[in-house]
Structure formats: C-alpha cells, structure tokens
C-alpha cells in the first residue's frame, strides 16, 4: 500500500540512518534519534531528566543505581519504535500502520516521563500528599502540560494530530486517561503505557535497566515477547506457550519492588527526605511550581544540594536531616509485618499516632514526631487481582482467535494471592528503638491479637543507645 506524501515527510524509513543521531546505550546498544525527536531531546526541559535518577534515592543503598530518567526515556523511545516496527513487519497492511503511527508511538515513549518530579515517585506519592492534604497530583498529567510547554516554547513544528495522540498514549494506563473513539487503532495505546494489562515497553526497559544498575540478575527476557506479539481484534496478544514468560514479567517487577524499590533502608532515607522537603517547602515554595511548567522543569534531584548548602535559618532543620543522611545517621528500622490476607480488604493505613497510642508506661514517653511509618504495597500491577486474567493469548499465527488462560491450567506452583502490604516502623532517633519496637508489638497485639512480625527486634538494635554512649 502506498503511503501519502504527508506520511513521507515525517520520518526517514526504519532502515535509513543518514539523518539520525546515533547514541550508545548500555542496555540496548545503538539508539538512533531522528531529527524530529532531537528537537525535543535538545531542550532544557528534556535535558533536565539527566539530573533525575531513575530510582530516586535508591543509589544511597545500591551505589550503582545512578542511572537517570534521561537514559530510561531514550530506552523506552527505542523499544516503542522496535515494537511498532515489528508489528508492522508482520501485520502492517492488515492493520494499516503508517509512518504517522510509528512517529506517534515513538514520541510517546520519548516523552512519557518529562513530568516527573524529583526522587522518582516519592515526590507525588509521599511529599505532595503530606504538604497539600492528600492532593491527587500525577506525573502523567504533568507530562501532558510539559509536552505542550516544550512545543510552544521551542516552536516545534509537529502535526497536531500526532501530538494529541502521543499525549493520549502517555496517559493510557493512568486513571485520568481520556476515552478514545472505537474507530482508532487501540493496540497502539498498549505499547508505551498499557492500561489493559500492564505489559508495555516502559516496564521492559526499567526492569532490565534497574536490575543491571543494582548489580542484580534479571531472568525476564522481554525480547521473547517483543518478537512474538500479535494484534488480534485491535489488541496486542501473546502466544499461549509464552504464558510463563508473561508471568515472569510481573513476578520480576514484584521482586524488584521487594528487594530494591521498597528496601527497608531505602524507605528510611525516603522518610527523611520527605521530612526535609516538607520543612523546606515554605522557604523554597516547591509546591507553588507544580502546576506551572515554566517553573516546574527547574526542580530536580539537586534540590537536596540546595537545601544542604543554603545557610538560611529557615532551612536549618531540613539541612540537619540531609546532613544526617550524608553521615548515615538514618531513621532506625525497628521491625515490620506483612498484613494478614484476611485483613487486607479492610486495611486502614497505620500512622505514627497508632504506634504512640500503643505504648505502655515506661522510662520513655514517645511522641508522634519520634516515629515514622512506611507502608509498602507489592503486587503484580493489579492489586489483589491476577493481571494475567487481562492478558489475551493466541494458539498460533494462523489462528484469529484470542483467549484468556487460567493459572491452574498452566501450573499449580503459581501464586493464589497477588498482593502484599508490608508495614514498617522506624525510630527517628537511635535511643528510641527499644521504646518504638515495644509499642509496635503492642499495636499488633491490639489489632490482630498476635504479633504478626517474623521475629522480635534484635537486642543489639534495641540497646543501640548504650552502644553509642560506651
């Protein structure tokens, strides 16, 4: 099928590298950026992503995790292009995939994270809800504003329909995603941010990139799914024989959350940074910038250095917290428990007040500001539901039918439950560990009638005050 002249003018063909810029990526090898994408990359708003670590504060526990959202965005751009090109190679005529579709998908992959705040998801999930009384702000929505701001500020000449569709793809998995007409190519919206089942190139890139940066192995091989994806009835489907590969995608993600993203010490540092940012907000006016793209792009991870080096008296307390992190004087992890399965449905967030109210009379009287609580949710992307129930499979390439597969038809070793909630409690000062640990145990007895934690807080941690004073 011949392409129109309008389609021809947007990008060089997949094989033509003459007009592209070559970038060497440590995960995907050589990445090629066509001129239209370079117009976005070579802006201060996109370059800002170099100063935002992909895993936020995780590098303070995993020293290698210093990779940025800049390289991740290039990776997602590249995989988005690879995915749509492979689908086109097999089904291009059938699906009417044109150069505009390819450009739109790649643009969505490139720009999907330009609205992120500092320190990964900490900014929107921990900091903003605390200082703005539960505000529901999302980096996906901010990405849409930032994309418009980049186009307007730098006078980027891009087809309005391409820009509109790329923005819809950025928020396709988000709760505020706009509905699309049934006439559009729905499968294109599953490539970058898949709202149907969570299988997308964003996950493909960050799981491999994050695992490698942290020095961990990654048993999930996204190439197998990339090679065999097939569109049936406007939905990307996978071979039935690849069921366990799909499961491994979600299992790998959950394992990374447990061992890296929600590591107990990483969460201790995050709690300290949230406290520091909350204290500094009045002076630095951070929250005044979250709805203004012209100001928001100036905020990145370097805000910690700003707090640390500013001599203002108003930042004294925040500065002290940052210095404590530098000196490894962290909030002390006391203990944790996994919320019992039968309590998950009606689980209510646990607060420092809950712990303080559970203390018994003793030599130390705890206050709310002495305690920090972290609640980590680990699942397979769909809460307590199995995400594979939303994935469609096919028998072979000659078949035009898609179907779901039940876990028990594959293996009896697959999980029967799909979510953990882990409650962790920290003492903000080392000498309070014993008192906080005891109050935490009392809380468990009061709520569940038992101690849900695996073991008592180690004695050497409880007696940390004596160790420091000796």
Catalytic residue of the set 67, 139, 247, 257: 139
Residue 174 is among the residues annotated as catalytic for this protein:
no
Token pair listed for 322? 């940052």
Rounded CA separation 185/163 (Å): 16
Cβ atoms < 10 Å from Cβ of 412: 8
How many Cα atoms within 13 Å fall on the side-chain side of residue 179? 2
Q: Are strands 393-394 and 235-239 parallel, antiparallel or unpaired?
A: parallel
Rounded CA separation 193/83 (Å): 13
Token pair listed for 274? 């949230």
Rounded CA separation 377/98 (Å): 41
- Enumerate long-range contacts of 450-458, CB under 8 Å, 24 or more apart: 451/337, 452/337, 452/338, 452/339, 452/340, 453/335, 453/336, 453/337, 454/337, 456/335, 457/334, 457/335, 457/433
Q: Is 25 helix (H, G, I), strand (E, B) or coil?
A: strand
Rounded CA separation 399/390 (Å): 20
Question: Percent helix, strand and coil across the chain, each rounded to 5?
Answer: 50, 10, 40
The residues annotated as belonging to the active site are: 139
């Amino acid at each position: 099928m011949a392409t129109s002249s309008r389609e021809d003018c947007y990008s060089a063909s997949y094989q033509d590298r003459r007009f592209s810029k070559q970038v060497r990526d440590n995960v995907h090898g050589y990445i090629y950026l066509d001129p239209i994408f370079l117009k976005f990359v070579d802006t201060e708003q996109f370059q800002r992503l170099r100063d935002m670590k992909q895993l936020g504060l995780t590098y303070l526990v995993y020293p290698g995790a210093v990779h940025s959202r800049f390289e991740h965005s290039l990776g997602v751009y590249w995989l988005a292009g690879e995915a749509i090109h492979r689908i086109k190679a097999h089904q291009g005529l059938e699906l009417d995939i044109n150069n505009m579709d390819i450009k739109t998908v790649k643009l969505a992959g490139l720009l999907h994270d330009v609205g992120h705040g500092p320190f990964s998801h900490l900014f929107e999930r921990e900091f903003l809800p605390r200082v703005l009384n539960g505000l529901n702000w999302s980096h996906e929505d901010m990405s849409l504003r930032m994309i418009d701001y980049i186009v307007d500020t730098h006078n980027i000449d891009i087809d309005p329909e391409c820009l509109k569709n790329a923005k819809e793809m950025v928020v396709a998995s988000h709760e505020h995603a706009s509905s699309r007409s049934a006439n559009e190519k729905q499968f294109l919206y599953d490539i970058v941010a898949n709202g149907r089942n969570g299988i997308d190139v964003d996950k493909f890139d960050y799981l491999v990139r994050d695992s490698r940066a942290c020095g961990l192995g990654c048993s999930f091989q996204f190439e197998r799914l990339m090679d065999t994806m097939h569109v049936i009835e406007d939905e990307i489907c996978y071979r039935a024989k690849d069921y366990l590969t799909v499961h491994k995608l979600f299992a790998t993600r959950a394992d990374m959350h447990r061992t890296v993203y929600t590591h107990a010490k990483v969460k201790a540092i995050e709690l300290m940074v949230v406290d520091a940012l909350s204290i500094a907000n009045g002076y630095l006016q951070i929250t005044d910038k979250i709805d203004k793209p012209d100001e928001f792009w100036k905020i990145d991870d370097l805000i910690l250095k700003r707090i640390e080096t500013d001599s203002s008296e108003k930042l004294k307390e925040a500065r002290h917290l940052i210095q404590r992190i530098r000196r490894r004087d962290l909030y002390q992890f006391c203990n944790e428990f996994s919320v019992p399965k039968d309590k998950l449905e009606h689980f209510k967030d646990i607060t420092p007040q809950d712990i303080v109210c559970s203390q018994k009379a003793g030599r130390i009287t705890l206050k709310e500001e002495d305690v920090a609580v972290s609640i980590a949710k680990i699942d397979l992307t769909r809460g307590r539901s199995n995400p594979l129930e939303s994935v469609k499979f096919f028998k072979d390439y000659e078949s035009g039918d898609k179907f779901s597969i039940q876990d028990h038809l594959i293996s009896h070793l697959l999980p029967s439950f799909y979510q953990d909630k882990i409650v962790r409690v920290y003492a903000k000062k080392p000498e309070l560990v014993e008192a906080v640990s005891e109050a935490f145990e009392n809380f468990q007895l009061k709520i569940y009638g038992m101690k849900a934690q695996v073991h008592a807080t180690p004695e050497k941690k409880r007696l940390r005050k004596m160790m420091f004073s000796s």
